[in-house]
A and B are shown apart, each in its own frame.
Chain A
Amino acid sequence: MKIGIVVFPGTNRERDVVIAFERVTGIKPIIIWHRETTLPSLNMIILPGGFSYGDYLRCGAMAAHSPIMNEIRIFAAKGGYILGICNGFQILTEAKLLPGALLPNASLRFLSRDCYLKIERNDTAFTRGWNKGDVFKTATAHGDGNYFCNNETLKQLEGEGQIVFRYSAANGFVNSKDNQTNPNGSINAIAGIVSANGRICGMMPHPEDMVDPLMGSEDGKPLFQGIMETLA
């Protein structure tokens, strides 16, 4: 099984993903530099968190135009699995591989804090490690995580079950109006979505930083276990 992690100038959470993958699955992903114009054969591509191009202009906008993105589009068109975390999610929306956009947090401040996510669907490669309705603790660390899309798109996302993670209270209660449990003000408390074919996933929080009890929680592990089971 081969996992590729794409690094853009300014990406900074690639090491976290490598460490988490290795710890949970024993597999060490390979790092791919954004200027590559061909991809090795891969089972999954991960776009990690960070500040690609400093997040100048709009988060993810410039990375979405990197040379490697052509290859990633081709990979996606062939039905490849792609996971974008945080900045990776922003890049996927900027590249139009996922619908919607990530606006500045409602508080207009960067937010680094634990939050809870509710699993809306567990029949995807990214969520099969959980049960539907499970709630897990994870860390957020972003300034622009306020998911937005127009009404039509929202209807489609809700109707087709493309919303996989929602911000919630520890007990699973979802209230998009509550700035404690929906910390960035996302529409319908959306924290993560998948593409129509269920193979491209974007999420704002960082399960990769929650895979070791020493760091306060192992709640992020099922993400990597689920991916492992899917790809194996």
Chain B
Amino acid sequence: MNKAQQLVVNESLAKEFGLSADEYQKVLSIMRRTPSMTELGIFSVMWSEHCSYKSSRVWLKNLPTKAPWVIHGPGENAGVVDIGEGLAAVFKMESHNHPSFIEPYQGAATGVGGILRDVFTMGARPIANLNALRFGSPENSQTRHIVDGVVRGIGGYGNCVGVPTIGGEVNFHESYNSNPLVNAMTVGIARKDRIFLSVAVGVGNPVIYVGSKTGRDGIHGATMASAEFDEDAATKRPTVQVGDPFVEKLLIEACLELMATDAIVAIQDMGAAGLTSSAVEMAGKGGVGIELNLDHVPQRETQMSAYEMMLSESQERMLMVLRSDRINIAKQIFEKWELDFAIIGYLTDTGHIVVKHHGRIEADIPLAPLADEAPFYKRSFSPYFKPKPIEPLNITMDIERSLIKLLGCADLASRSWIWDQYDSTIGGQTVYRPGQSDAAVVKVEGTYLGLALTTDCTPRYCQADAYQGAAQAVAEAWRNITAVGAKPLAITDNLNFGNPEKPEIMGQIISVIEGIKDACNALNFPVVSGNVSLYNETCNAQGENISILPTPAIGGLGVLDNVSRAVGNALKENFQLVIIGETKGHIGQSLWLREIMGQEAGPPPTVDLKTERKNGNFVRQVINQGLVAACHDISDGGLLISIAEMAMAGNIGCTLDAPECGMRPEAYWFGEDQGRYIIMTSDSDELIQKAKQQDVIAKLIGYTGGDCIVMPSGAMITIIRMKAASMSFFENLMKV
């Protein structure tokens, strides 16, 4: 006998399933009877935060999602933009935070698997992966283990399926100690007239299951992802989902092969809430009904109940609706790829989802109210208090020593320990790999097009000022794409926050969305897909709730019409260095202030979106005119860090001019003013002339050459020394 079947469905059970009393009342009024266990399960996952976005939905509506090049915005499995030559880029970012804390390797691996499926579901061949990671403090004893597992998991999955992992970002902060963030992004390419959607139509059409067999994996995973961890999370561990990248690779090839025929009517991966959400969403979108017979579902374990099968989150599974006269084509292809598949149901005209098992009806729910009456909340929120400006500092710090210390700090140190474990060259189209440019660049096979890809967010800015921080994240993504010479097209966003039932967290969410909105509008850089991850907080040993820093990770995509024009960030000998943008010396929330002065204080730098746009458009223009040999934006750590990164990337040094008088040296070298770039050119006169014409601030600041950075004081910092500092962080952290 199954335990699940002995339980009595009532309000208190519903509560255990994560449904509030009001929500349960709603269920009763929709069903007009007490729901069965399976029905309750279906409601609870569909109405979970994870699937229904009940806390964020009303605010997400405000995000700009349109531009002439946007083919599909939010609402589909992934966003789709036109990149020219009849092709579309399909992309999305998704979180796998909680599973990655419970089992770092599998959590991260299955995160990659899930986002890959979202992309190839739409008919796109995945061509690049990125990953935005946030870990706990390096001093925390668990951090090393989590970093190790997450990085191995991302590499293990992506490398095996044969998709290059070419970019990402990493931060460390104690607020992520027991709640790391793993946000994975996939980008794929499809013909723009061959995009596949999940709208199921055609009453009588068969519903096909393909991929791994169903087990009791991650049951209640979707609701788990929406519930806070507490001290005994360790004991309540659900069955962990294990990824099988080999089967995923077979699924990709089989699905793409089938998509080249006319057999598929609708297709959807089984992600969170597995069979339930895929079936409900496909039928719901098509306005039809769906009947499933679970007896036919390929099963890995014996005696699974309907409830378990509907809620299982076994990985590497797809659901599709086929034209009934094309089943044989599908069969042949799945057999070739040795994948389990079965016809498990068909579309009906009832508008209900009906689930049968062992000859019994286990669920019968009207689809329209399940979707339309899904709860949403306009939760109360408290306004955000902006931090006070910091007091002027009157201490002089040694610039060279500060540089070395900063280069070795957790947020700036070389990430090569990570990206060395990710296959970044597979596909033979990778133009710029991690560390070689501001945005990774991949060529679109068979064309001259290039895609520029990046993920960005500076959580400490968002913590200090959620609105500014969010705008900054969008601006930095836009800037990184611009810095390689690409035209920024659109973003995907992954909003990671604490508990939305707390007014201050809700305040963060609202301000972040506002900031993203304004930046996207100003930069003409719409949101085409995204994901929200809430309840990222933990109860520490003292019983306090610790929320993560607000972390709206932005994944940006841009296009180059001629990929050979793309520039990297490595210095070469005998060029001039020009800084674009105004240096005011903003020190609040800077890494210099944190690492050298030990303060996390002040407001973050403000983003002047008009200037941002003006400067960026200028930079892109001169890159495309061939005037630029290398370019790097100035972000975390400020001007001198950017130059050091360029020097280390090219193994070439430079000689720098003195700052304008009047500015404190640390503010000049390490201030984090926005909207700035360093350009390496052989004709600074022409470049500066052009800048003047467009009212862009540009100034010659140095010359390249040699094997060290020569400061205006005459002090020399060798590249060898900088590299040693930059490499030391991960070496020490991960030392056995």
- A contact residues vs B (CB 8 Å cutoff): 9-10, 12-13, 15-16, 19-20, 33, 49-51, 53-56, 109-113, 139, 141, 143, 206, 208-209, 211-212, 214-216
Contact = CB atoms under 8 A, between A and B. Distances in A.
Contacts of B155: 110
B159 to A, nearest CB: 6
B424 interface: yes
A51 B431 contact: no
17 contacts: A9-B249, A9-B250, A33-B336, A50-B162, A54-B160, A54-B245, A54-B247, A54-B249, A110-B155, A111-B421, A112-B422, A112-B425, A113-B420, A141-B159, A209-B426, A209-B428, A214-B431
Contacts of B419: 112
B160 A215 contact: no
B428 A15 contact: yes
B422 A215 contact: no
B428 A12 contact: no
Nearest to B427: A16
Nearest to A113: B420
Contact of A109 (B247, B421, B428): B421
A51 B425 contact: no
Given A110-B156, A215-B430, A141 B425 contact: yes
B210 to A, nearest CB: 15
Nearest 8 CB-CB pairs, A to B?
A: A12-B162, A54-B246, A16-B428, A141-B423, A51-B160, A209-B425, A139-B425, A112-B423
B428 A208 contact: yes
Interface string B671-705: 00000000000000000000000000000000000
A206 B156 contact: no
A179 to B, nearest CB: 12
A9 B257 CA distance: 14
B161 A12 contact: yes
Contacts of A211: 428
Contacts of A19: 428, 445
Given A112-B419, A112-B421, A51 B162 contact: yes
Nearest to A35: B336
A51 B427 contact: no
A141 B426 contact: yes
Interface residues of B, number: 34
Contacts of B228: none
Interface string B148-165: 000010011001111000
A212 B336 CA distance: 34
B427 A15 contact: yes
Contacts of A50: 162
Contacts of B421: 109-112
B509 interface: no
B291 to A, nearest CB: 33
A206 B159 CA distance: 14
Contacts of B337: 9
A53 B246 contact: yes
Nearest to B420: A113
A110 B563 contact: no
Given A9-B337, A51-B159, A51-B246, A112 B424 contact: yes
Contacts of B247: 54
B230 interface: no
Nearest to B162: A12
Contacts of B429: 215
B160 A10 contact: yes
A216 to B, nearest CB: 8
Of B250, B433, B564, most buried by chain A (CB within 10 Å of CB) is B433
B141 to A, nearest CB: 21
B231 interface: no
Contacts of A212: 428
B452 to A, nearest CB: 14
A56 B431 CA distance: 31
Of A10, A49, A208, A212, most buried by chain B (CB within 10 Å of CB) is A10
